Amino acid sequence: MIFDYIVVGKGMMGSAAAKYLSGSKKKVAVIGPDENIDNNKAVVFSSHYDQARIQRIIGHDDVWTLLNLQSAQQYNFIENQSNISFHTPKGCLYVNPEGMDVYLNEIKKSENLFNLKYTFFENSKALQNAFPDFHFPPSSKAIFEDAPSGYINPQLLIKAQLILFKKNNGIIINNIANEITYEKNFLQIKTLDKKIYQAKKVLLCPGAFINFFNLTKNKLALSLKSETIIWANVSKQEAIRLSNLPSLIYEIKIPEYKNVYLIQPVMYPDGNYYLKMGCNLPSDRFFDNLTDIQNWFRNGASDDNLEILKDALLKILPGIKIKKIFTKRCIVSYTKHRKPYIGALNNDGLFAACGGNGYSAMCSDALGKIAANLLIENNFLQGYSAQSFQPVFIND
Ligand SMILES: Cc1cc2nc3c(=O)[nH]c(=O)nc-3n(C[C@H](O)[C@H](O)[C@H](O)COP(=O)(O)OP(=O)(O)OC[C@H]3O[C@@H](n4cnc5c(N)ncnc54)[C@H](O)[C@@H]3O)c2cc1C
């Protein structure tokens, strides 16, 4: 059978795009592996292997804001149709400990295009009154966005998207794509175990792995950065105590670490509660080959930063009672223009949606919709332009 559309990668963008493509009533498949919990056996990994991603609405510019807004507007529908609850709208707090920055200035100055509500905090005292568990320096300035900001469970969102995809007769192929070749009227995908699938158009959504198989001759200009996070295991009681804590984006910049993000304790599939925190670190690495990424996920030296991260957490949440704490490893893909790449990679029916820039879980639904519309209608949805998402190639 020749599919109309095949999506490669069933992560955040791929699952959303597959759902929207399947709404066209054409023959659609998505090819991607489930998470392999044995890192030594996994060939590819993902940027969504935990249970919490920050959801905010006001982004760094109107494009990000529209993406976030339109994604969040879909959550009720997706939750109802899939019977999966993945969205916890507890609000999101953005703090700069040094005072005003470009993001805060823009918000204050212009009252954003979308007339979104937020609360501005002039100093740490006002912040302390509103959020007594958090601790920030006196010079801090902040905004708080209420619901629908908060957090989403990325794995459950993917699961929900794929339920809707299957309801539309979409086919899920649990495999890894290894090579794409071109026949007269279709593209041919060979998987790692040498199975063959054919489609008129293919959308590549394999996240950080897009350049590492023979999927595209035109390699994309992506910076792939290691990301170290901590999971702080707390008791159920402590999780309940902290259950009104908003998600936090903390734009601290000190030599030891910068750009902290944190999400309240969430229950994981093992029944335990973990608060997740991450940041940029001086020892973060950039990757240019698959072996180094595999080694990073399997046994990277993330524990070298455990004490630094723990110290950062205790400065922000001095009263937190931690039972255990450990590091986890992830990867972030940055594009040249710092927006995801969504576009055609050639004139033969190959497209891509990738390059999340650390912000694309919260807006993955809209990104998937834009990509799907591009394959179906050959244009960009109203409110967006091709230029914003133009793929940039290494050789450009
Ligand atoms: C620690 C961490 C924290 C983050 N926090 C936030 C946050 O709070 N809010 C937010 O909005 N964003 C956050 N992000 C970013 C967000 O998770 C990513 O932008 C998002 O996951 C990107 O989606 P994607 O579909 O491009 O890639 P992924 O979600 O990584 O999905 C790619 C999928 O493709 C599969 N794949 C790879 N190669 C192949 C192949 N050859 N064949 C088939 N399948 C393949 C992978 O297995 C994976 O399932 C965070 C990222 C990290 C690492």
Ligand 1 pocket, residue 59 CB under 6 Å: no
Domain CATH number, residue 129: 3.30.9.10
Ligand 1 pocket, residue 329 CB under 6 Å: no
Nearest 5°: phi and psi at 183? Answer: -105, -175
CA–centroid distance, 184 to ligand 1, in Å, is 33
Which tokens belong to 221?
A: 């200009």
Which DSSP category does 88 fall into?
E
CA–centroid distance, 279 to ligand 1, in Å, is 17
Ligand 1 pocket, residue 148 CB under 6 Å: no
Atom index in ligand 1 nearest the CA of residue 355 equals 26
pTM, two decimal places: 0.98
| Spatial separation of the C-alpha atoms in residues 343 and 20, rounded to whole Å | 16
Cα dist from 348 to 133, 185, 197, 270, 375, whole Å: 55, 9, 16, 45, 12
Same domain membership, residue 179 and residue 145: no
Atom index in ligand 1 nearest the CA of residue 353 equals 26
Ramachandran sector of residue 150 (left: φ over 0; alpha: ψ -120 to 50; beta: rest): left
Q: What percent of the chain has pLDDT over 90?
A: 95
Query: Three-state SS for 87?
Result: strand
Which of 87-96, 106-115, 179-188, 316-325 has the least mean pLDDT? 106-115
Give the residue, by CA position, lying nearest to ligand 1 atom 52. 47
Same domain membership, residue 132 and residue 77: yes
| Spatial separation of the C-alpha atoms in residues 24 and 49, rounded to whole Å | 29
Q: What is the CA radius of gyration of the chain?
A: 21
Beta bridge partners of residue 226, listed in sequence order: 331
In this predicted structure, the answer to whether residue 174 has a pLDDT above a threshold of 90 is yes
Same domain membership, residue 247 and residue 139: yes
In this predicted structure, the answer to whether residue 111 has a pLDDT above a threshold of 70 is no
| Spatial separation of the C-alpha atoms in residues 155 and 247, rounded to whole Å | 18
Ligand 1 pocket, residue 33 CB under 6 Å: yes
Domain CATH number, residue 214: 3.50.50.60
Same domain membership, residue 229 and residue 202: no
Task: Give the H or E element holding residue 77.
Answer: helix 62-82
CA–centroid distance, 12 to ligand 1, in Å, is 6
Within-domain flag for 169? yes
Ligand 1 pocket, residue 54 CB under 6 Å: yes
Nearest 5°: phi and psi at 167? Answer: -60, -30
Same domain membership, residue 381 and residue 293: no
| Spatial separation of the C-alpha atoms in residues 330 and 261, rounded to whole Å | 14
Task: For residue 182, name the pLDDT band (cuts at 50, 70, 90).
Answer: very high
CA–centroid distance, 123 to ligand 1, in Å, is 35
The range of the structural domain enclosing residue 170 comes to: 2-50+154-220+338-389
Ligand 1 pocket, residue 330 CB under 6 Å: yes
Q: Print the SS3 string covering 275-298.
A: EEEEEECCCCCEECCHHHHHHHHH
Query: Three-state SS for 84?
Result: coil
Task: Give the H or E element holding residue 2.
Answer: strand 2-8
Last residue within a domain, chosen from 319, 335, 351: 335
Same domain membership, residue 355 and residue 278: no
Contact between 212 and 43 under an 8 Å Cβ cutoff? The reply is: no
At 114 the pLDDT is 86
Same domain membership, residue 140 and residue 266: yes
Which tokens belong to 158?
A: 């993917």
Nearest 5°: phi and psi at 214? Answer: -85, 55
Same domain membership, residue 200 and residue 110: no
**What is the tens place of the pLDDT at every residue in 5-55?**
999 999 999 999 999 999 999 999 999 999 998 999 999 999 998 999 999
Contact between 200 and 4 under an 8 Å Cβ cutoff? The reply is: yes
At 115 the pLDDT is 84
Give the residue, by CA position, lying nearest to ligand 1 atom 23. 12
CA–centroid distance, 124 to ligand 1, in Å, is 34
At 20 the pLDDT is 98
Same domain membership, residue 364 and residue 292: no
- Burial grade of 55 (CB within 10 A; 0-12, 13-18, 19 or more): buried
Give the residue, by CA position, lying nearest to ligand 1 atom 39. 206
Within-domain flag for 210? yes
**What is the tens place of the pLDDT at every residue in 253-300?**
999 999 999 999 999 999 999 999 999 999 999 999 999 999 999 999
Same domain membership, residue 65 and residue 7: no
CA–centroid distance, 47 to ligand 1, in Å, is 3
Beta bridge partners of residue 121, listed in sequence order: 142
Q: How many domains are contained in the chain?
A: 2
